[in-house]
Amino acid sequence: MSNHTIRILTAVVGIPVILLLCLTGGVYFLGFVALASAVALKEFYGLAKAKGVQPLVFPGILFGFLVNTTFFHAKLVSFLISISGGKEIMFPSQTQLLLILLLVGVAVMSLVELFRNKGSALLNLSATIFGMMYISMFFGTFIGIRELFIPLDFPMLRYFSSQSIIDQPVVDQVYRWGGYTVISILAVIWICDSAAFYSGTLMGKHKLFPRVSPNKSWEGAIFGFVFAIAASIAAKYLVLEYLPVSGAVVIGIIVGIAGQLGDLVESLFKRDAGVKDSSALIPGHGGVLDRFDSLLLVSPLVYLYLDFVLFS
């Protein structure tokens, strides 16, 4: 069976599961992203080990998971209030909680490294902390995007009348928009990647970045960029009714540029480590880091755009 066939069969099985988790949201989506983040971080640490570095794998993954949960802040606070019997509790804001975890994480990992005596302490800590920031935090913003679509954070009055914003059907509709948004981001990334690959294979003549990825071409990158914008606009009319056309174009541009750069960044890591894939976990697709490399740069930019521009 060819590798291309294996890729297709894996996608046929995996995509429906991912779509269901995206639509369901809540702790199920948190669990999916946190698991993907942890596996991708472990793969990144594997790349570092191939270069002779000894990252702190368990502490890095542990604090990476805690960083993921900061983007689930609103529901976390609601859960704590519910188990406290409805009493008001003092709890850090999302930004404060993230800052606390990063500060404590760096301090703890520095102290752990103090007693390890394995190779270069500077390289070990640098790889550990960079991996937690680049993978765990950036993956966490994908949870953040999903959780923007709740009444506490979503600008309800912009889309609904003041009389209807507390109605459960309206609340449910907004949360569904969150599911459609994260699905659309993944779909636009996949369409961009596919357009870049196939057009580059057929027409690619000018190398995009031969030092890092010799098979990628400017022709493929341009086709991927155009298809990303077109797919994002199509998503606006199909499922993202809250999103203005200008917003769809912005998201398409983010995917068309940052998504392809994210792919190149991961190629840089793998080339430096001397490996073809980050792992062989997903048949035909390599590792989790290989599959979600574009998302790692797309997600934080879309999160910032939605939270601080479109919804501000």
| pLDDT tens for each residue of 118-131 | 999 999 999 999 99
Q: What is the pTM of this model?
A: 0.94
Q: Are 118 and 128 in contact (CB under 8 A)?
A: no
Looking from the CA of 81 toward its CB, the CA atoms found within 13 Å total 12
| CB-count burial class (<10 Å; 0-12, 13-18, 19+) for 254 | buried
Question: What is the pLDDT at residue 13?
Answer: 81
- Given CA atoms 144, 138, 311, 261 in this order, what sign does their dihedral have? negative
Most confident range, picked from 90-99, 164-173, 200-209, 297-306: 297-306
* Tokens found for residue 239: 């499922």
pLDDT, residue 86, reads 64
